Amino acid sequence: MAIKAVIFDLSGVFFKLPEQHAEEIRENRGVSYQFVKEFGAEPDEKNVNKFRNLLKRIFIGEIVEKEALEEYSKFTGLPLPKNPNFWFIGFQVVRDEKVFEISDRLRKNHNVSILTNMIPCHYARLEPHLNAFKPNIYISYEMGCEKPDKEAFDHALKSMKLKPEETIFVDDAKENTEAAEKLGIHSILFKNANQLEKDLKSLGLDF
C-alpha cells in the first residue's frame, strides 16, 4: 500500500538538543536530572520518580507547569525555584534546517504532521516555527495521552484518516518507534538528517 503520510516527532528531530540532555531525556522518558538538581533536591530515585510522575501529568494535560512545581515543593519541603527559566534548562531552540527542508519536499506529495510529547511552555516557544504543519499537530497535553501509548498513535491516525500501513513515523526515541512498529506503522529511528533522507527513500518515498 502506498505511503500517504509522514508523522514526525518534534524536539530531537526538528530541533537539536545538547547530547547530554537528549540522552537523559531518552533514558528517563522526558525527565532530566538537571531539573531535580535545579530544584535543590537530591537526584535520588524517590525524587526523580516523583518529578517524572508530575511531568507525565503535565504531558497529558492533567496539570500545568506551575501546579507541578507547587506540588513538588510540598513533596520535597523545598522552596519554589527562583530561576524564571527553570523549565528551559537544557532546552534549546536550534532548528535542524535540513530536516525542515526534507519536510517541505515531502509535503508536495504527502501529508506531513507532528506527534509530540511536550509541555505547554516548550511548545509555545517552538510554535512560531510550525505554521507549515498546522492543523496536523498532535500534542500530548491536548490529546490527553502520550507516546509510546497506543492511544497517541491512534489519535493521529484517526485525525488524518490514515491506516497504519499508509504511514511512516519518525522519532529519536527507540521505545516510540518500536511502539509504532507494533501497530503496523513504518518507523524510522532518527539519528540525523542525512540518515533520515536515506531511510525515507528506502521506504519508497520519492521527494
Indicate whether 78 and 163 sit together in one domain.
no
Examine the fold and report which residue of 67, 88, 109 is the final residue of a domain before the chain moves on.
88
Structural domain total, the chain: 2
Structural domain that includes position 104: 5-16+92-202
Query: Domain containing 133 — which CATH number?
Result: 3.40.50.1000
Does pLDDT of 188 surpass 90? yes
pLDDT in tens, 84-140: 899 987 777 789 999 999 999 999 999 999 999 999 999 999 999 999 999 999 999
Q: Cα angle at 1 between 116 and 195, to 5 degrees?
A: 50
Count of CB atoms within 10 A of residue 7's CB? 25
Calculate the dihedral angle through the C-alpha atoms of 33, 177, 4, 143, rounding to the nearest 10 degrees.
Answer: -50
Residue 207 lies in a domain: no
Indicate whether 123 and 104 sit together in one domain.
yes
Residue 32's pLDDT is what? Answer: 67
Residue 41's pLDDT is what? Answer: 92
Position 25 confidence tier, pLDDT thresholds 50, 70, 90: low
Distance between CA atoms of 20 and 22, rounded to whole angstroms?
5
Nearest to 11, CA basis, from 144, 168, 172: 172
pLDDT in tens, 31-40: 667 788 889 9
Does pLDDT of 151 surpass 90? yes
Position 16 confidence tier, pLDDT thresholds 50, 70, 90: confident
- 180 burial type by CB count under 10 A (0-12 exposed, 13-18 middle, 19+ buried): buried
* 7: phi then psi, degrees, rounded to nearest 5: -105, 125
Residue 174's pLDDT is what? Answer: 94
